Structure 1
């Protein structure tokens, strides 16, 4: 079970009625990089973190956009002044799963900075759905990326590398926006033999851990049938499961999927951020911001280290 730990002074009831945007750790880390752009540009306030035993714990210096100090609103102080803050500039830290919110309370973002424990992503998805249900978000927008090498013919012929998966609970106005942008729903991608075998092993493992007289035994099989109602997202992390669970729980969720390959995925993240902005209008710069050159997405400093430091040229002489 995960637990939301609010920042001092934040009331979790402020989640109610907001739109939640979160990434699924997927191929190329495109959703996480897109979330980085949103956090850097919108300067959201960090309102808490989520502790979950199914996510690998990490700790590091807080990220911030280029041209800003580490004491900006993109960073946040540690809860206490214990030994964990020692050696970190200003005691500012980033954690594995953090929660942010816009000052007007319209947008709530979750950023996941580390992967889930092997074979535990379904547990993390289950816990997130409970958090979403308890928080009473107005709607959920899930960002995911899918393996570009697994595209079928119709997807290869399409000029748009982005697809979406709607839930029946989404408002008609949002669906009209998606159609107006020319976006298409995600087509079903056939499973490989390895994926079929993995799904069978996972289901057998879950059923084996449940007592035969436990009603949860049938729920494991039911969850699998629910999952099959959502198109497959190759290398999309827990996106398919989270979407199916939210849909089954009556939660309005939109999953936006970008096809990508491993490599320099910064352009993919910028493209996905532009698509998301066209759908939700999360970033509408003022005329003054445009004149000041602040109309574009702000790249965080952490992107400077995405692929390590450059090699010293002397080694080639």
Structure 2
């Protein structure tokens, strides 16, 4: 059976000049958590829902507003018109068999919509960090990336590429998506952090800080006072232990 992807666009939007951020489902979910933090802090609006055989079907409460009648699904598109940024947030891994076709369609669709560039946020296994005295962050850019010069002035550590294609172990679909952007000549900047499973909320805050250095999403004043954790983080690791067990 041929794959069919359905894009349910809730609000019309002209994506010309937008930056599209796509967090990958990866070790520690650092990219996803950073995406959550940006969506909550910028009060972004949900403007689209995607259905595809590549997506594991899940649903849940609105992760950003208590008492909302909205239901969240596996793959949703959020927009901040003021900052000209959109986030395509996935909440489950892609089905490997359909991943390439799905991600290719995503890149093709937003290229046709005239997005300025694509940013991929992800993470990699902590034990893959070979030089422990350097920053835990790494970046990758393709040949048409808009931020290459700026990144070099920041003196960040670039991903150590050993042959092609780029491989980020533990990074989920990030490597595949990056290669598709190269093939389609869409400007792309990939940022990842070495991480382990556990409480990765501090990693998410740090990733947003790094991203904001390259792409100003927040005002120049104190960044952390502008970041609003989503309500879905309140019981991320369950409630406190019941007192009657002591």
TM-score by length of 1: 0.71
Question: 2-side partners of 1:52 and 1:105: how far apart?
Answer: 29
The C-alpha deviation readout for 1:21-66, integer Å capped at 9, x for no partner, is: 11011100000000011001011111111112111112211122xx
Question: 1-side partners of 2:232 and 2:17: how far apart?
Answer: 31
Name the larger-Rg structure.
1
**1:168–1:58 CA distance, 2 compared to 1 (3 A):** same
CA contact (8 A) 1:229 1:244 kept: no
1:169 corresponds to which of 118, 136, 144: 144
Query: Is the counterpart of residue 48 in structure 1 residue 23 in structure 2?
Result: no
Corresponding residue number in structure 1 for 2:160: 187
Corresponding residue number in structure 1 for 2:75: 97
Query: Is the counterpart of residue 157 in structure 1 residue 133 in structure 2?
Result: yes
Query: Is the counterpart of residue 278 in structure 1 residue 194 in structure 2?
Result: no
What is the aligned length? Answer: 243
CA contact (8 A) 1:285 1:294 kept: no
Within-5 A mapping of 1:233-252 = 233-252=168-187
Report the structure, 1 or 2, having the larger strand content: 2
Within-5 A mapping of 1:110-121 = 110-117=88-95, 119-121=97-99
Aligned residue for 2:234, secondary structure, equals helix
- State the 4+ residue runs in structure 1 displaced beyond 6 angstroms: none
TM-score by length of 2: 0.90
1:254 corresponds to which of 169, 185, 189: 189
Query: Is the counterpart of residue 232 in structure 1 residue 235 in structure 2?
Result: no
Question: 2-side partners of 1:105 and 1:274: how far apart?
Answer: 16
Structure 1, unmatched stretches of 5+, are 71-88, 190-227
Question: 2-side partners of 1:167 and 1:235: how far apart?
Answer: 20
Corresponding residue number in structure 2 for 1:11: 12
Question: 1-side partners of 2:43 and 2:220: how far apart?
Answer: 13
Structure 2, unmatched stretches of 5+, are none
CA contact (8 A) 1:2 1:128 kept: no
**1:131–1:305 CA distance, 2 compared to 1 (3 A):** farther
Within-5 A mapping of 1:55-134 = 55-64=55-64, 70=66, 89-104=67-82, 106-117=84-95, 119-134=97-112
1:148 corresponds to which of 121, 126, 133: 126
Aligned residue for 1:156, secondary structure, equals coil
Corresponding residue number in structure 2 for 1:223: none
Question: 1-side partners of 2:125 and 2:109: how far apart?
Answer: 28
Question: 1-side partners of 2:224 and 2:154: how far apart?
Answer: 25
The C-alpha deviation readout for 1:160-207, integer Å capped at 9, x for no partner, is: 111111011113xx2222122221210136xxxxxxxxxxxxxxxxxx
Corresponding residue number in structure 2 for 1:27: 27
Query: What's the RMSD between the two structures over aligned residues?
Result: 2.1
Query: Is the counterpart of residue 268 in structure 1 residue 203 in structure 2?
Result: yes
